[in-house]
């Protein structure tokens, strides 16, 4: 197969900064590009690897970086490989990429676009139903053998009629809204600017959105404007019957304040896929039945991994052939 196609052209050199989890992903890249694979390289630490790549006769023009911010794409990174002109990020959130520094150097940035949007929206809805209807708590009750002993489990709350405020109405937020409408929820939202095409009530700030919401769903990108966008005052506005669902980034929520509000009963519950210091969730939450926690898996399905592979290849092929990226992040937008 490889022989008949010939070697991938030397000019299509790609830095791959992604841990090995999905062999088919790496194979698909190697078939099309000359791949400099950091996690397969013996040339560590990273600065040495980048230095060697940059000094090669054909230095890399593109880099693929993983979404979790394992390797920050900052000025130092970009300086280490001045040949870079494209950064492909395997997530929707690019909070660990310094977009200003990229723009200054003419480096284009692509993200995962809408590859994960439906999966993340499904997971958000799953967390919302779980918290309101106490699914995981009821699950523990059954598995501990308490059902025959104690009888009834505490009542959950009806989903229909709940006012759900979505922070960030991008690809993911819009898909969450669509699902919530089918569940009979009343959707409202906050985003940088109101969207003309949607029927939901718009709030110019998150505090006012929280006042009018039973559930707040965090679905925005993380950047300077959205860091701790759900803080003490917003939690107070949400109130003691309110629930927070976060499938954005951990730091969109002031986690210490969230934990305090949950401990003191100042909000009713939380469904969290993301946390401020991953991997790991605050131990104080482990004994709470009104909290549902998942380990940053909202994006992960077997199907989305395969879609992602195709998406990355298509973006890089576009870049190397001088075409526009399919899912450019620049120009920089602070909130979805």
From residue 263, alpha-carbon distances to 51, 62, 293 in Å are 49, 46, 16
249 has catalytic annotation: yes
What tokens appear for 90 in the block?
Answer: 């395997």
Count of CB atoms situated within 10 Å of the CB of 238: 27
Q: Is 292 in the site for its own copies (CB under 8 A)?
A: yes
Q: Which of 232, 240, 230, 289 is nearest to 266 (CA)?
A: 240
Q: Which of residues 298-317 bind its own copies (CB under 8 A)?
A: 300-305
Distance CA 104, CA 218 (A): 30
Among 31, 74, 79, 139, contact with its own copies (rule: CB under 8 A):
139
Among 145, 199, 265, 331, contact with its own copies (rule: CB under 8 A):
145
Q: Which of 134, 162, 296, 309 is catalytic?
A: 296
Q: Helices (DSSP H) in 56-98: which residue ranges?
A: 75-80
DSSP for 240-265 reads TT-EEEE-S-GGGB-HHHHHHHHHTT
What tokens appear for 280 in the block?
Answer: 């790991």
Nearer to its own copies, 58 or 278 (CB): 278
Nearer to its own copies, 137 or 206 (CB): 137
Site string for its own copies, 265-284 (x = CB under 8 A): -------------xxxx-x-
Which region, judged by CB under 8 A, interacts with its own copies, from 23-31, 71-79, 119-127, 198-206? 119-127
Q: Which of 244, 120, 241 is nearest to 178 (CA)?
A: 120
φ and ψ of 164, to 5 deg: -110, 120
Beta-sheet strand order (sheet of 62-65): 34-37, 13-17, 62-65, 86-89, 108-110
Q: Is 155 in the site for its own copies (CB under 8 A)?
A: yes
Q: Which of 134, 249, 309, 311 is catalytic?
A: 249
Beta bridge partners of 13: 34
Site string for its own copies, 20-59 (x = CB under 8 A): -x--------------------------------------
Nearer to its own copies, 38 or 77 (CB): 38
296 has catalytic annotation: yes
Q: Which of 18, 25, 11, 16 is nearest to 311 (CA)?
A: 25
Nearer to its own copies, 208 or 289 (CB): 289
332 has catalytic annotation: no
Count of CB atoms situated within 10 Å of the CB of 100: 11
Residues 161/187, Cβ–Cβ less than 8 Å? no
Q: Which of residues 200-259 bind its own copies (CB under 8 A)?
A: none
Q: Is 199 in the site for its own copies (CB under 8 A)?
A: no
Among 32, 179, 192, 201, contact with its own copies (rule: CB under 8 A):
179
Site residues, its own copies (CB under 8 A): 21, 118-119, 122-123, 125-127, 129-130, 133-136, 138-139, 141-143, 145, 147-148, 151-153, 155-161, 178-179, 181-184, 278-281, 283, 286, 292-295, 297, 300-305
Catalytic residues: 249, 278, 296
């Amino acid at each position: 197969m490889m022989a008949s196609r010939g070697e991938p052209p030397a000019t299509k050199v790609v830095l791959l900064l992604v841990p090995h989890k999905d062999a088919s992903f790496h194979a698909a890249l190697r078939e099309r590009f000359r791949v400099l694979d950091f996690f397969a390289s013996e040339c560590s630490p990273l600065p040495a690897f980048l230095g060697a790549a940059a000094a090669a006769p054909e230095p890399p023009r593109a880099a693929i970086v993983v979404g979790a911010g394992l390797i920050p794409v900052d000025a130092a990174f970009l300086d280490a490989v001045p040949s870079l002109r494209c950064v492909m990020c395997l997530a929707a959130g690019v909070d660990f990429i310094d977009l200003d520094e990229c723009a200054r150097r003419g480096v284009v940035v692509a993200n995962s676009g809408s590859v994960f949007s439906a999966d993340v929206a499904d997971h958000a809805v799953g967390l919302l139903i779980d918290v309101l209807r106490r699914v995981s708590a009821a699950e523990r009750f059954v598995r501990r053998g308490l059902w025959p002993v104690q009888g009834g489990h505490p009542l959950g709350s009806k989903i229909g009629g709940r006012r759900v405020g979505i922070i960030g109405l991008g690809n993911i937020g819009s898909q969450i809204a669509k699902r919530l409408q089918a569940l009979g929820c009343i959707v409202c939202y906050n985003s940088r600017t109101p969207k003309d095409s949607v029927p939901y009530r718009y709030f110019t700030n998150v505090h006012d959105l929280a006042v009018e919401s039973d559930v707040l769903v965090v679905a925005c990108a993380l950047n300077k404007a959205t860091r701790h966008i759900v803080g003490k005052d917003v939690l107070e506005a949400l109130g003691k019957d309110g629930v927070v669902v976060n499938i954005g980034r951990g730091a969109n929520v002031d986690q210490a304040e969230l934990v305090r509000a949950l401990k003191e009963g100042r909000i009713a519950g939380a469904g969290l896929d993301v946390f401020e210091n991953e991997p790991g969730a605050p131990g104080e939450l482990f004994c709470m039945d009104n909290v549902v926690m998942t380990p940053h898996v909202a994006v992960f399905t077997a199907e989305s991994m395969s879609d992602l592979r195709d998406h990355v290849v298509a973006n890089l092929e576009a870049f190397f052939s001088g075409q526009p990226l399919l899912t450019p992040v620049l120009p920089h937008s602070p909130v979805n």
